[in-house]
A and B are shown apart, each in its own frame.
Chain A
Amino acid sequence: MKANCWMGRGTVEVQEVPDPKILNSRDAIIRITSTAICGSDLHLYQGFIPTMKKGDILGHEFMGEVVEVGPQVSNLQPGDRVVVPFPIACGNCSACQHGQYSVCENSNPNAGIAEKLMGHSPAGIFGYSHMFGGYAGGQAEYARVPFADVGPLKIEDDLPDEKVLFLSDILPTGWMGAEMCDIKPGDIIAVWGAGPVGQFAVASAFLQGAERVIAIDRFPYRLKKAERAGAETLDYEEVDVLDALRDMTAGRGPDACIDAVGIEAHHPAPAIYAYDRAKQAARIETDRPFALREAIRACRNGGIVSVIGAYGGLVDKFPMGALMNRSLTVRGAQCHVQRYLRPLLDRIRNGSIDPSFVISHRMRLDEAPRGYEMFRNKEDECLKVVLTP
């Protein structure tokens, strides 16, 4: 089959690779009909997540048709149409039973590697480095899906791929980003990053009852999209974000702040950008946390900072004083996607949200290298690339 493979920092290639086979009795093989490129893929592409290997198949946002199931999978049959959540989760461990699927205790065969870096291991993730399990990803014609009796969501009506594909990751991620804010009446939520994840965080914050939502980015086309969803916007290259947020909230600061930027944040002041970029290049810090630092400083006293932007390792100059003295709460997670599949599918079905609004480019799987480049460089108003094999 054809698959999009990581071939080293800054290079992906569509290659001919063997077809997947059932390895565990709870596996299913899926023929992929739609797959997308995520901001997280960009972190791998740029080489910021350690433990990638040349030849790794990328991709963790995919859906398709079941073609084969292992002997222990009784809920799915060949021909079923399914969306696959990006965290791999067993459903049996206590994390899964508490709905914390992205920290499943059994799905990472390389937990030992992750433990060395992070203390304890999170769940395995499709196509997301070897410390997250070394699983082949879904930017391919076929994929093997472990624990197929737990994760995949059957789509039984005729909703098109484009409306349900993002249940695999970014819609639940944006939703959970808002949910971690414990939104109460009157709350003002600020969202750093108006990428696809930020867009869904904005939409979700409104659906969860936010009074106002403020989106922060530097790309006008992305900010415009957020405006269309009802957000007020700030271009961080035009204004001082902290001052602007103080003004917009009559001095209080946003009640909760969502970091939907992550590890590769950009900073308008060249000197500060260069400081962290150089440390990152020298591997002294792995992550560039500008948005996170700003979110913590901007948040109102006693507020919540919700981190859904992805981080890989260590950050530097962390504003711990603000966090501690101002009684802030920081929450973060790889999304517990399985938890949100059904409720969000219901919302898509009843029309309260149509996630396809983020799609800007549709390409063939063969064109993945071009898609990665465009998405990274934000060329041609690129917001979300969907690939079809």
Chain B
Amino acid sequence: MSEEHHRKTDRLARALGWGSLGLGVIQLTAPNAVARLSGVDDSPWARITVPLVGVRELSHAAVLLGSRRPAPWAWTRVAGDALDLTVLGCSVANRTGWRRRRAAAVTAAVVGITAVDLYTAVCGSRRTGRRVTLRAAITVNRPREDVYWYWHDLENLPRFMAHLESVRATGDGRSHWKVKGPAGRSVEWDAVIIDDRPGELIAWHSVEGSAVGNSGSVRFTDAPGGRGTEVWVDLNYDPPVGMAGVAFAKLFGEDPEQQVRDDLRRFKQVMETGEVVRSEGSPEGIRAIRQVMQRPAQPVM
């Protein structure tokens, strides 16, 4: 689904949030008028129910207006709608005359609103299967050709990429990748280079049917004023176990954006100093977990 579509859904969700806010305020400040309009002013319960519904509307407003990506929160409104429709249904069934007509009209309106809420919620949650996009860049104090050729030999990548166990070139622009996945499981796939411009760009994607669909590119440009080479990396992948997997990984400090930045930093260390720099706190040099779980700064046994 396109970003544009996501933005539209979020706008809709936010509008619904404002709707909830308005309705909630009216229900709290003028409960009697609301009860009369809905034809339920004859019930002793209406005096309590209407303000309670008002409070609920305000909580919808809070999550919808307070979230950066509000669309999935429209589900809270869908749940509220279901409740309202049940109550309204009973009201219609139990009444006659003008009260019944009013209750029916309000019910019809709520059915319409429910449709909009449902649409927003469904569109909003479809993005959960979305590809993860990571971008990072670093400046390396070496000529562009050197930097390009080092990267071009894909078998070099595990030297600085913490999660890569190995990359094996299998000829014809193809390669076999092995990655340390979450919970110690490794994930493997084959990739193919789809664009290769010496000194400028390398782009690849995983072959059809890979366990983890992914693609990426690295661009090399001259940094201004003789500052070396700018390395721009773009990575896209389908998260191994859905968004939950990424959230899980984050819990352990393995924030993927940070990982790409750290990988690039080690790439720079290798290019500029010859190897990944080690300290007593992280003597392996390349274990990602060491950023959060340092050893004491004492020599290793």
> Which of A's residues lie within 8 Å of B, judged by CB?
3, 5, 17-21, 23-26, 53-57, 72, 90, 92-94, 97, 105-113, 124, 127, 130, 133-137, 144, 146-147
B277, CB-defined interface residue at 8 Å: yes
Known: A130-B297, A134-B279. 16 other contacts (CB 8 A): A5-B298, A18-B301, A20-B280, A24-B278, A26-B274, A53-B295, A57-B280, A94-B141, A97-B141, A106-B273, A110-B294, A130-B281, A134-B294, A135-B280, A136-B298, A136-B299
B298 touches A26 (CB 8 A): no
Residue with the greatest number of chain B CB neighbours at <10 A, chosen from A56, A97, A130, A146: A130
**Overall SS of chain B's interface:** loop
Q: What separation, in Å, do the CA atoms of A24 and B283 have in the docked complex?
A: 10
**Which residues of B sit under 8 angstroms from A17, Cβ to Cβ?**
298-299
Nearest A residue (CB) for B226: A94
* Interface bits B239-275 vs A (CB < 8 Å: 1, else 0): 0000000000000000000100110010011001111
Q: A93-B141, A136-B280 are in contact. Are A109 and B285 (CB under 8 A)?
A: yes
Q: A92-B141, A92-B272, A93-B141 are in contact. Are A23 and B298 (CB under 8 A)?
A: no
Q: A23-B283, A56-B296 are in contact. Are A109 and B278 (CB under 8 A)?
A: yes
Nearest B residue (CB) for A22: B278
* Total interface residues in chain B, CB < 8 Å: 33
B279 touches A124 (CB 8 A): yes
Q: Which of B258, B265, B276, B280 contacts A134 (CB 8 A)?
A: B280
Q: What separation, in Å, do the CA atoms of A17 and B296 have in the docked complex?
A: 11
A130 touches B294 (CB 8 A): yes
> Which of B's residues lie within 8 Å of A, judged by CB?
139, 141, 227-228, 258, 261-262, 265, 268-269, 272-283, 285, 290-291, 294-301
Q: What separation, in Å, do the CA atoms of A53 and B294 have in the docked complex?
A: 8
**Which residues of A sit under 8 angstroms from B273, Cβ to Cβ?**
26, 90, 92-93, 106, 147
Nearest A residue (CB) for B271: A92
Chain A's nearest CB lies how many Å from the CB of B134?
Answer: 15
A127 touches B297 (CB 8 A): yes
Q: What separation, in Å, do the CA atoms of A54 and B296 have in the docked complex?
A: 6
Q: What separation, in Å, do the CA atoms of A105 and B271 have in the docked complex?
A: 12
A20 touches B278 (CB 8 A): no
Q: What separation, in Å, do the CA atoms of A54 and B295 have in the docked complex?
A: 9
**Which residues of A sit under 8 angstroms from B294, Cβ to Cβ?**
53, 110, 130, 134
**Which residues of B sit under 8 angstroms from A21, Cβ to Cβ?**
299-300
Which 6 A-B pairs have CB atoms at the shortest separation, nearest pair first? Answer: A134-B281, A55-B296, A20-B299, A56-B297, A23-B278, A92-B272
Q: Which of B276, B297, B301 contacts A137 (CB 8 A)?
A: B297
17 contacts between A and B (CB under 8 A): A17-B298, A21-B300, A23-B285, A92-B141, A94-B141, A105-B272, A109-B276, A109-B278, A109-B282, A109-B285, A112-B261, A124-B279, A133-B281, A134-B295, A135-B281, A137-B297, A144-B299
Residue with the greatest number of chain B CB neighbours at <10 A, chosen from A19, A23, A113, A127: A23
**Which residues of A sit under 8 angstroms from B291, Cβ to Cβ?**
110, 112-113
A112 touches B281 (CB 8 A): no
Q: What separation, in Å, do the CA atoms of A19 and B249 have in the docked complex?
A: 35
Q: What separation, in Å, do the CA atoms of A109 and B291 have in the docked complex?
A: 8
Nearest B residue (CB) for A127: B297
Q: Which of A97, A106, A134 contacts B282 (CB 8 A)?
A: A134
Residue with the greatest number of chain A CB neighbours at <10 A, chosen from B261, B272, B278, B298: B298
Q: Which of B277, B298, B299, B300 contacts A24 (CB 8 A)?
A: B277
Q: A25-B274, A92-B272, A93-B141 are in contact. Are A135 and B279 (CB under 8 A)?
A: yes
Chain B's nearest CB lies how many Å from the CB of A365?
Answer: 15
B275 touches A24 (CB 8 A): yes
Q: Which of B282, B283, B301 contacts A110 (CB 8 A)?
A: B282
Q: What separation, in Å, do the CA atoms of A23 and B280 have in the docked complex?
A: 9
Chain B's nearest CB lies how many Å from the CB of A207?
Answer: 34
**Which residues of A sit under 8 angstroms from B277, Cβ to Cβ?**
24, 90, 106-109, 124, 146
Q: What separation, in Å, do the CA atoms of A5 and B298 have in the docked complex?
A: 9
Chain A's nearest CB lies how many Å from the CB of B259?
Answer: 9
Q: Which of A25, A113, A124, A137 contacts B275 (CB 8 A)?
A: A25
Q: What separation, in Å, do the CA atoms of A7 and B298 have in the docked complex?
A: 12
Chain A's nearest CB lies how many Å from the CB of B278?
Answer: 4
**Which residues of B sit under 8 angstroms from A136, Cβ to Cβ?**
279-280, 297-299
**Which residues of A sit under 8 angstroms from B296, Cβ to Cβ?**
5, 53-56
A55 touches B268 (CB 8 A): no
Nearest B residue (CB) for A124: B279
**Which residues of B sit under 8 angstroms from A124, Cβ to Cβ?**
277, 279
Q: What separation, in Å, do the CA atoms of A115 and B225 have in the docked complex?
A: 25
Nearest A residue (CB) for B140: A93
Q: What separation, in Å, do the CA atoms of A26 and B269 have in the docked complex?
A: 13
Q: Which of B262, B265, B279, B298 contacts A133 (CB 8 A)?
A: B279
